Chain A
Amino acid sequence: MSDFAIGLASNIGMLAFVALSAYLLLISGSISFGQQAYFGLGAYGAGIATALWDWPLMVALGFGALVGGLGGGLVGLLTRKLHGLYFAIATLAFAEMTRIALDLWHYQRMVGGERVGPDGPNGFNGIRRAFEDGWDPAAFMILIWTLLAVTLLALLLFERSRAGVTLRATGEDPVLTRLLGTDVARLRVRTAAVAGAIAGLGGGLYAHLNTYIEPRLFDIMLGVHALAYGLIGGLGTALGPLIGVLIDIGILESTSLFQGWRMIAFGGLVAVLLIWRPRGLLDEPTVRRLRALFARPARHA
């Protein structure tokens, strides 16, 4: 694979984490404009763990996911009673608070003769653990996609489970789900925590691939994209958000066709899709039809 293809595949994989994070909340009926915050928290957490505390890469990635999960869980706990746009605005407010707080945060140490660590708006330099440990870009891309595949598989299995069905039911009608005996508030908190952890894992990978992060990267536009990926690709299956990322990065960004106009094309695509297919390309009826299509030969055999 060429360097360009490896970079592209890595970017798609990392963005898929934050897209899956937003997707998980979407199917539970909550719109979050703030998943970029947990992506950022995971990036800072994992980066600090390797660059300042000298933790092994894998442990640090887990720590990033934990930080993201704690952030998501905390916000989920505080906002468990908020609905629709109230929840959306609260997540937006929290994400911007996080970004500004990271802008104000300085935590630096001398490591190997240079100052390393978060330096407010100047960003966080020198997260080189992955490359010091001998991961070349191709190997790191495989790592990203392996972790993504595991996450995707877990989500796909979860959606087939009883808990997954309950989660979708909450999204359809929280009052009815409550009537049927589900503790919707607790479910919301847990979903927010898991979604935060998924974003945090992606953030840790992002920090180690780029070796440099800054608060500005985790701004509202990342959140809009994360949300849009699921809405474009479809809310019927966890593969939907991945398709959304492929359309944006794979087609719009990688081809020079839309140079300078990418955001305009992408924003327009989302707006038109919301009119034409409000739950994305792979929406629930489509997924059911596809599933029936693949299930039929098996049944006759």
Chain B
Amino acid sequence: MMADVLQTLLNGLAAGAAYALLGVGFTLMFGVMRRLNLSYGATLMFGGYLGALLMAKAGDALPGGLLTVFGAVVTVAGATLAGLYVERLCFAPLRDRSGVAAMVSSFAVWMQIEALASLLLPQHTNPYPAPLDLAPLHLGALTLRAEHLLTFAVAALLAIFLHRLLSASRFGLALRTLSDSAAAAQAVGIDARRTTLLAFLLASALGGVGAWLVLVADQQVTPMFGMWSTAKGLIAMMLGGLGSIPGAVIGGLLLGLVEATGQALFGPQVRELIAYGLLFVVLVVRPGGIFGRATIDLDAAARERL
């Protein structure tokens, strides 16, 4: 019994590690732009589709291990490429306008990318080969799937890499300055357009890795993947508080735990319902996220303007 509970939580954490990556990608983009990129999931799905397509084409020509690496590279590259398109079309031209316009624009482009992906691979379910034929790891009564171990390892490595990049590189400093204050960034001569574009591509690549981890575990990619990853990343980010990277990591892990518990208790469909319900309740009760500050009060704003 106890082992079952622990096993559920472990599975939840593994899913949560992937959610955390998606949430961090969302947060990076939001941090530098103060804009929400809703087509994030669709760009990742495009990467996944491109990976599935090219792996199917390369199929027999490459040995198993190399095929896995090839799939990962294509998926990440595809996601980054689609991210570049979204940034150029939806965010760069709308820089000086309300954030909502860019958000709606990214929503419209979501349709485009999804339609394009289904032109590439028209079937509903597309195999995503993952020749990781590794035995699961046994820890006492618990088993850890090889894919989950991979997810933990990659997510941890990326977290360390991202932390180093943000805290100890020139680009990281520029990115953090831009997130904190656009005016300060301008004052010290940071190229906001370039930094935004780079952050966007970084987020797309990170998301691409996250998508790859999920697809390798699922061994298939469907048109639902766009909505799925947008939802998971968005929920992870909003749970932890908009704009906070550690918050997104904690939000992602929390979402994984809650979903795994929900699924164990009520089944897979209720799991999705619980995920959205959690998002809705957090937005209504604590819009700033579990750890963040609360809502904007219109009366207070009115008094302030007086």
Q: Are A97 and B280 in contact (CB under 8 A)?
A: yes
B119 within 8 A of A: yes
- Among residues of B, the one whose C-beta sits closest to the C-beta of A274 is B105
Q: In chain B, residues 201-239, which have Cβ atoms closer than 8 Å to a Cβ of chain A? A: 227, 231, 234, 238
Q: Are A100 and B273 in contact (CB under 8 A)?
A: yes
- Among residues of A, the one whose C-beta sits closest to the C-beta of B299 is A178
A78, A178, A267: which has the most chain B beta carbons within 10 Å? Answer: A267
| Interface stretch (choices B49-57, B69-77, B107-115, B187-195) | B107-115
B93 within 8 A of A: yes
Q: Are A100 and B269 in contact (CB under 8 A)?
A: yes
B104, B238, B295: which has the most chain A beta carbons within 10 Å? Answer: B104
Q: Inside 8 A of A290's CB, which chain B residues have their CB?
A: none
How far, in angstroms, from A138 to B88 measured CA to CA in the complex?
46
A174 within 8 A of B: yes
How far, in angstroms, from A261 to B276 measured CA to CA in the complex?
31
Q: Inside 8 A of A274's CB, which chain B residues have their CB?
A: 90, 94, 101, 104-105, 108
Q: Are B273 and A84 in contact (CB under 8 A)?
A: no
| Interface stretch (choices A10-18, A41-49, A223-231) | A223-231
Q: Are B284 and A79 in contact (CB under 8 A)?
A: yes
How far, in angstroms, from A179 to B302 measured CA to CA in the complex?
6
How far, in angstroms, from A83 to B302 measured CA to CA in the complex?
15
How far, in angstroms, from A216 to B306 measured CA to CA in the complex?
48
Contact of B284 among A90, A262, A264 (CB under 8 A): A90
Known contacts A104-B273, A263-B115; is A86 also within 8 Å of B287 by CB? yes
Q: Are B99 and A174 in contact (CB under 8 A)?
A: no
B146 within 8 A of A: no
Q: Is the interface of B mostly helix, strand, loop or mixed?
A: helix
B59 within 8 A of A: no
Q: Are B298 and A81 in contact (CB under 8 A)?
A: yes
Known contacts A104-B273, A271-B109; is A179 also within 8 Å of B103 by CB? no
Contact of A178 among B93, B100, B280, B302 (CB under 8 A): B302
Q: Are A174 and B287 in contact (CB under 8 A)?
A: no
Interface flags, A69-103, vs B, CB<8A=1, else 0: 00000000011011111101110011011001101
Q: In chain A, residues 261-288, which have Cβ atoms closer than 8 Å to a Cβ of chain B? A: 261-264, 266-268, 270-271, 274-275, 278
CB A59 to nearest CB in B, in angstroms, measures: 31
Q: Are A268 and B112 in contact (CB under 8 A)?
A: yes
Q: Are A224 and B108 in contact (CB under 8 A)?
A: yes
Q: Are B104 and A86 in contact (CB under 8 A)?
A: no
Q: Are A224 and B283 in contact (CB under 8 A)?
A: no
Contact of A85 among B99, B302, B306 (CB under 8 A): B99
How far, in angstroms, from A208 to B241 measured CA to CA in the complex?
43
B65 within 8 A of A: no
A81, A89, A260, A275: which has the most chain B beta carbons within 10 Å? Answer: A89
A220 within 8 A of B: yes
How far, in angstroms, from A104 to B279 measured CA to CA in the complex?
19
Contact of B298 among A174, A224, A228 (CB under 8 A): A174
Q: Are A271 and B90 in contact (CB under 8 A)?
A: yes
Q: Are B276 and A270 in contact (CB under 8 A)?
A: no
How far, in angstroms, from A135 to B305 measured CA to CA in the complex?
57
Contact of B109 among A31, A93, A103, A267 (CB under 8 A): A267
Q: Are A33 and B107 in contact (CB under 8 A)?
A: yes
Q: In chain A, residues 113-145, which have Cβ atoms closer than 8 Å to a Cβ of chain B? A: none
Q: Are B238 and A224 in contact (CB under 8 A)?
A: no
Q: Are B115 and A85 in contact (CB under 8 A)?
A: no
Known contacts A89-B234, A100-B272, A264-B115; is A271 also within 8 Å of B287 by CB? no
B166 within 8 A of A: no
How far, in angstroms, from A75 to B276 measured CA to CA in the complex?
14
Q: Are B103 and A227 in contact (CB under 8 A)?
A: no
Interface flags, B293-305, vs A, CB<8A=1, else 0: 0011111011001
How far, in angstroms, from A83 to B112 measured CA to CA in the complex?
27
CB B97 to nearest CB in A, in angstroms, measures: 6
Q: Inside 8 A of B108's CB, which chain A residues have their CB?
A: 224, 228, 266-268, 270-271, 274
Q: Are B302 and A104 in contact (CB under 8 A)?
A: no
Q: Are A86 and B283 in contact (CB under 8 A)?
A: yes
Known contacts A86-B287, A179-B306; is A96 also within 8 Å of B276 by CB? yes
B116 within 8 A of A: yes
Q: Inside 8 A of B272's CB, which chain A residues have their CB?
A: 96, 100
CB A34 to nearest CB in B, in angstroms, measures: 10
B231, B277, B280, B296: which has the most chain A beta carbons within 10 Å? Answer: B280
Q: Inside 8 A of A261's CB, which chain B residues have their CB?
A: 115, 119
How far, in angstroms, from A78 to B284 measured CA to CA in the complex?
6
Q: Inside 8 A of B97's CB, which chain A residues have their CB?
A: 278
Q: Are A264 and B116 in contact (CB under 8 A)?
A: yes
Q: Inside 8 A of B269's CB, which chain A residues have their CB?
A: 100, 103-104
A163 within 8 A of B: no
Q: Inside 8 A of B305's CB, which chain A residues have their CB?
A: 175-176, 179
Residues on B close to A: CB < 8 A?
36, 89-90, 93-94, 97-101, 103-105, 107-112, 114-116, 119, 227, 231, 234, 238, 269-270, 272-273, 276-277, 279-280, 283-284, 287, 295-299, 301-302, 305-306
